[in-house]
Amino acid sequence: MNQYEKAIFEVCNVMTPYARNGSFKAYGFGGIPEYIGVDKVSRLWNINGTNDANCFGTQGVLRAY
């Protein structure tokens, strides 16, 4: 994992036990989310690239990224 992925991993591991059903919303912001087909700067997007921002656990967030 790169440093960005490691940071996501650590934060999500802390948050997941407190999340209802292990699911929580995850957003990207202030970048160009090329992996979901956007080619310009976006202020906010669902990190998983769908209309529903819910991700299940740490792996759900990392898989989306």
Residue type, 56: F
Question: Residue 65 pLDDT more than 70?
Answer: no
Residue 58 has a pLDDT of 87
Q: How many domains does the chain have?
A: 1
The whole-number pLDDT of residue 64 equals: 62
pTM beyond cutoff 0.75: no
Convert the pLDDT of each residue in 2-60 to its tens digit.
Answer: 998 899 899 988 998 898 888 889 998 888 988 888 899 989 989 888 899 999 888 88
- CA quadruple 35, 24, 56, 15: dihedral positive or negative? positive
Residue 26 exposed, middle or buried by CB count within 10 Å (0-12, 13-18, 19+): buried
Domain membership of residue 55 as a residue range = 3-64
**Residue 49, Ramachandran bin (φ over 0: left; ψ between -120 and 50: alpha; else beta):** left
